[in-house]
Every structure is written in structure tokens, then in C-alpha cells.
Structure 1
Amino acid sequence: MGHGPLSPSGGHPLNYLDFMLEEFKKFILKGDVVSLSTGVLIGAAFGKIVDAFTGGIVKPLLGYMGGDPNVSLKLGIFDLGLIINAVIAFLITAAVIFFIIVKPYNMLMARVARKEEPAAAPPAPSAEVVLLTEIRDALKQ
């Protein structure tokens, strides 16, 4: 292996592994990746709510209005339990995503930001401290 983007230091396997892990770390720590993956998971969970609403409210209503022969008109034609179950499953999924992905990611990013923050310069000494320092230095002479 020569020198290039895939062999950062002469092609030694451990250095290559370190290089790949560092690249992966940079990729994962981008906010876009975490936001996109979280959005996909939440979107999939919300899709189940839409399916439940369609199956529990819209289809029975259309079947009732359109004269669908499979609709049995009893006291209620809507399946609200299907929708309630889907909403509960969505809330559980959202909570798990928040506590397993979002919260730890935010804590990690705050820790990384603290490490990257330069140390604050010490405040300038007050006039009293400067005067006392001058007196001390004069007494040493």
C-alpha cells in the first residue's frame, strides 16, 4: 500500500484501523446523521398511526357510506382501540428513541464542546493586586 487517503501512515493495519475509527467517529458525530436516523425511526412509527387511523376510521366510514357488504353496522363501526394502540406504541417508541439516542448524543456533544472550548484567560489583576505586587518587588530589592 502506498501513501494516500486509505493508508495514512505507510499502511500498517493498526494505524489504518485507528484512521478508519477516527473517520467513523467524525461521521457519526455530525448532527445530520443522528437527526436523519431519528427522523426515519419517528417517521416509521408515525406511519403506523396513519395506518391505524385509515384502518380504524376512514375505511369503515367509506365502507358504510359506499355500501360495502363486509361492514356490519352495529353500535359502532370504528375501531378506536386500533388507533389508541398505535398512539401508545408511537409514544413508547419516541420515548425510547429520545432516551437511548437523542439524550446520550446531546450529552456527548456537550462534553465534546467543553473539551474544544479554550480555557478562559485569567482575569486581569485588580489595581490593589498590582500595587501589592509592586510593593513586594520593591521590598525584595
Structure 2
Amino acid sequence: MGLITEFKEFISRGNVVDLAVGVVIGAAFGKIVTALVDGIVMPAIGAFTKGVSVSEWKYVIKSSQLDSAGKEVAAELAIRYGMFIQTLIDFVLIALVIFLFLKAYNRVRTPAATPATPEDVLLLREIRDLLKK
């Protein structure tokens, strides 16, 4: 079996195509949630922090050094934890929305109907129960 034939069989499997569709939709969904966080959630949080964006939160270890002309000689050394917090909020919102979506999907999805028990089996069970008495 040639390499091209094996590749065609691999691609034609339903799981691979489903996975590819899921990755593309997931990437687009991530962009939507990121836009929600950047455009709505973070400005609302910024209103409580006197206009300072969460992504700008940092702990300065060493301030930048300027020469006599005001030109930066050494860059600021800081731990920028605000971006981490913002990314964490993105993740939590994405996980929450996916959870809610799957919960609604599972509620809507109808379970497979159990087949009705044949009458002869019901009759045999009834006879068995009567014999036990």
C-alpha cells in the first residue's frame, strides 16, 4: 500500500475531519471570547481600578535608568502579572461557555429509546414471580 493511499484513508476517516472542524471552530470561538474579555470585561474592571488596564499591572523590580538627556539607558525590569490574569480570565470564560454549551447540548440530545420488552418475556417473568410465591 502506497503512502498516498494510506494518507487518503487517514483523511477520509470521520474522526480526523471532525477533529479538524472542531479545531477551526474552537479557534474562532477563542477569538470571540478574547474580544469579549478585551472589549467588555476588562474595561469594566478598569473602571474600578481608576482606568488602569489589568494587562498593565506589574511589579517593578528595577526601574528604567535614564541618562542626563532623558534617553533610556537600561530597560525596566518588572514582573507583568496583569497579562497572566487577563489570559486566566479568558480561559475561565471559554471553559464556562463550553461547559454551558455542552450541558445544553446533552439536555437537548434525546437518549436512545430502550426497546420494549417482548410479551413472551413479560409472560415468563410473571410465571416466574408466581412460582416464587
TM-score category (smaller protein): 0.3 to 0.5
User: Counting strand residues as a fraction of each chain, which structure ranks higher?
Assistant: 2
With a CA cutoff of 8 Å and minimum separation of 6, indicate the structure with the bigger relative contact order. 1
Compare CA radii of gyration and give the structure with the larger one. 1
Structure 2 length-normalised TM: 0.39
Structure 1 length-normalised TM: 0.37
